Structure formats: C-alpha cells, structure tokens
Amino acid sequence: MIADCGRLWRSLALLDLVAEAKKIPMKLSNRHLKELETAEFLGLELATVRDWRVRKIGPTYCKFGRSVRYPLDELLKFAEHSRVQTQIAA
C-alpha cells in the first residue's frame, strides 16, 4: 500500500512536469528523466524501456558517463508520435 502511494506521488509529479512543459517548453526543455521515471511516465515496465534502448528503438536518450537519461521534450514527442488514430464506429 505504501509503495502504491509512492508510485502515485511520483506519477503526479511527472504530470506536473508535463503540464509545465506544455506551458513553458523552453524552461523544461533540458529536464531529463531517469529510467524508472521514464517507464512510469510512459506507463511501461522498466525492462521494456531498457530493452528498447538496447535494441535502439523507442524514445531518444542521452548518456552522461554511465547514466542514462531521457529528455522530457523528447518523451513528449515520442508519446505524440506513438498515438494511433482510430475510426469512430458509426
């Protein structure tokens, strides 16, 4: 239960970041998320994000030494480009 609360708070913090990025993109354009934050942001398992990186698919990432970080603006672009438009049933 406590772990779920922690995950909820992290998710809310990420939503706040997204809202801020949409309002002031230049201010947060250099914000980078860690692997776990990226997985939570995209609603994926950490293993999926790591697998995509190894296979050179998925969102753009940066390496700072041995640290892997995902630019928030690139994650927003990736999510937007991953959207699938469906037809409305008539």
Task: Give the DSSP H/E element, type plus range, for residue 52.
Answer: helix 46-54
pLDDT by residue (tens digit) across 73-90?
999 999 999 999 888 866
The one-letter code for the residue type at 13 is A
Cα separation, 76 vs 68, in Å, equals 17
Task: Give the DSSP H/E element, type plus range, for residue 40.
Answer: helix 35-42
Cα separation, 10 vs 63, in Å, equals 23
pLDDT by residue (tens digit) across 24-48?
454 555 789 999 999 999 999 999 9
